[in-house]
């Protein structure tokens, strides 16, 4: 919480050693609003995808499948937010699928 205040951050992501769990959190006015913990069943690094180089300012598509928690969906959309007024499908390079 101290680091979030110093950096004026609204979100944080924390991973445990060994990569077995991931915690996402959201805060407002130095108070935690939400904490969501995920169990990681299979961890892949960017090195596992040699054909996909990292790109800056690339557009992506987000698909939510079978997520029954609207607050979780909203939190993920806020975390990965991109400001877009028009969508050109030829400019969409990646898809994030949450299920």
The Cα 98–Cα 29 span in angstroms is 29
Of 29, 3, 30, 24, the C-alpha closest to 12 is: 24
Burial of residue 10, with CB atoms counted within 10 A of its CB: 0-12 exposed, 13-18 middle, 19 or more buried: middle
* pLDDT (0 to 100) of residue 22: 85
Residue 3, C-beta contacts closer than 8 angstroms, at least 6 positions apart: 9
Is 79 in contact with 62 (CB distance < 8 Å)? no
Residue 87, CB half-sphere, CA atoms under 13 Å: how many? 8
pTM across the whole model:
0.63
Listed in order, strand segments (DSSP E) in 1-99 are 11-15, 21-28, 31-39, 59-64, 92-98
Q: What are 63-73's pLDDT values in tens digits?
A: 888 888 888 88
Among 25-29, 51-55, 58-62, 77-81, the range scoring the smallest mean pLDDT is 51-55
Share of residues in the chain with pLDDT > 90 (%): 0
Share of residues in the chain with pLDDT > 70 (%): 89
Tell me the domain boundaries of the chain: 1-42, 55-99
**Mean pLDDT, residues 14-34:** 80
């Amino acid at each position: 919480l101290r680091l979030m205040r110093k950096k004026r951050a609204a979100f944080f992501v924390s991973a445990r050693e060994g990569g077995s769990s991931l915690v996402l959190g959201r805060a407002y006015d130095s108070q935690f609003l939400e904490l969501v913990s995920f169990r990681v069943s299979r961890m892949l690094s960017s090195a596992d995808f040699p054909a996909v180089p990292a790109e800056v300012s690339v557009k992506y598509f987000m698909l939510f499948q079978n997520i029954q928690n609207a607050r979780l969906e909203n939190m993920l959309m806020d975390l990965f937010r991109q400001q877009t007024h028009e969508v050109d499908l030829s400019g969409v390079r990646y898809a994030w699928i949450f299920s």
